[in-house]
Amino acid sequence: MPPKPHRVLIDRVSGYADEAAAYMRRRKIARRPFARLYYANGRAADHDIDSRDGIALFAAADALVEVAGNARRRRA
């Protein structure tokens, strides 16, 4: 017996809503700042901005960007 027409519509809308919710979750995760370190042996590690290591990495990166910006200004 084929499904009733309203069930097909409800299932389709429900599927679209599930896909939209999954997209928003992925987007939220992807837009969160993190630092990824790559090691010589091929291993990689992600560090959130809120973690102890992440705070140190972001501070070091900020200092490097500031030094590079100052060096560029001196050359120009």
| Phi and psi at residue 35, to the nearest 5° | -115, 130
Residue range 51-65: mean pLDDT, rounded:
92
pTM of this prediction?
0.50
Percent of the chain with pLDDT over 70: 82
Lowest mean per-residue pLDDT among 3-7, 21-25, 64-68, 69-73 = 3-7
How is the chain split into domains, by residue range? 1-31, 34-76
Q: Please give the pLDDT value at position 55.
A: 93
Cβ–Cβ under 8 Å, residues 55 and 42: no
**What does the alpha-carbon distance between residue 10 and residue 21 come to, in Å, rounded to a whole number?**
16
pLDDT band at 36 (very low <50, low <70, confident <90, very high): confident
Specify the residue for token string 């060096």. 71
Report DSSP letters for 39-74, one per residue: -TTS-EEEEETTSHHHHHHHHHHHHHHHHHHHHHHH
**What does the alpha-carbon distance between residue 18 and residue 51 come to, in Å, rounded to a whole number?**
31
